[in-house]
Amino acid sequence: MSENNDLLNKIISNLEYQKQVFGDNYYSEKVEIPIREISTENSEKIEEPVEVEVPVPAFSIQEEEMPKKSTIDTDWKNSKELNVLYDKIHNCLECELGQTRNEFVFGSGNPNADLLIIGEAPGADEDKQGLPFVGRAGQLLTKIIEAINFTRDDVYIANIIKCRPPNNRRPKTDEVEKCEPYLQKQIELIDPKFILALGKTAIDTLLKKDHTMRDIRGEFIDYNGRKLMVTYHPAALLRNPNWKRPVWEDVKKLRAAYDEIVGKE
């Protein structure tokens, strides 16, 4: 009996050691438990090493810890419609953000919009709901859109990157490089006449240059035949309400140009 207990204790301490060193990944091997005493027929005691196969422990890898697998369709560049593009790319794992996101935030609104609004990256609310600009900054953006007599369904809203960076940090260069082609494909399919870029990440990514917001906001820039304007990001307005006035001036100017080119609704 005490022999069995000894054996059991050795197995348990081996498993505990494994768990300490390797976490929940279990590496199976034959464990040689050094010596045990056995009785022979003539009651002579001899010593013999014993090999035991350690059972697979209950703390095997949990499913949620398994890395997600990418099922991106490499043919996505040939998509002819936004919903087809979404189907082909929404399981993307081309950068590390795919491992931590809840939802791939593709974009929302009118797929034929003449105004495309581009932000930076999804935040916590967007990551939960799978929709762009639905948190506090999003509510302010909705008010800005409505202030120039559009609804969110008149325009299309997307971001430079589709997955939430942890703790809302700025997107890294490699994340932008991997994700921007999806946005470019969206621009091609939506084919908007106007683009409103919100904040520095959006404009620096689109124009491939470092800009000072103060110098560049509110002016129309030619962007492959489309009219591109940048203004302050609504999250920046929440921190600095003094910027609400210039944003109002910018979007009024945008609406006037839109009416001239697209025509009043």
- Summarize as ranges the residues that interact with ligand URA (CB under 6 A): 119-123, 126, 132-133, 135, 137-138, 159, 235
CA–CA dist 128, 13 (Å, integer): 42
The least CB distance from residue 206 to ligand URA, in Å, is: 13
The least CB distance from residue 72 to ligand URA, in Å, is: 21
Pure H helices in 44-156: 82-89, 97-100, 124-129, 136-147
The least CB distance from residue 7 to ligand URA, in Å, is: 59
- Closer to ligand URA by Cβ: residue 15 or 122: 122
Both tokens of 225, joined, read: 């035949």
Q: Which residues touch 189 (CB under 8 Å, ≥6 apart)?
A: 79, 80, 81, 82, 85, 111
Length of the chain: 265
CA–CA dist 219, 205 (Å, integer): 17
- Closer to ligand URA by Cβ: residue 107 or 192: 107
- Closer to ligand URA by Cβ: residue 15 or 140: 140
Which whole-number Å values give the CA distances from 100 to 133, 138, 153, in the listed order?
19, 22, 29
The least CB distance from residue 248 to ligand URA, in Å, is: 19
The least CB distance from residue 163 to ligand URA, in Å, is: 11
| Best CA proximity match to 187, nearest among 90, 104, 86, 116 | 116
- Closer to ligand URA by Cβ: residue 79 or 159: 159
- Closer to ligand URA by Cβ: residue 89 or 235: 235
CA–CA dist 144, 165 (Å, integer): 25
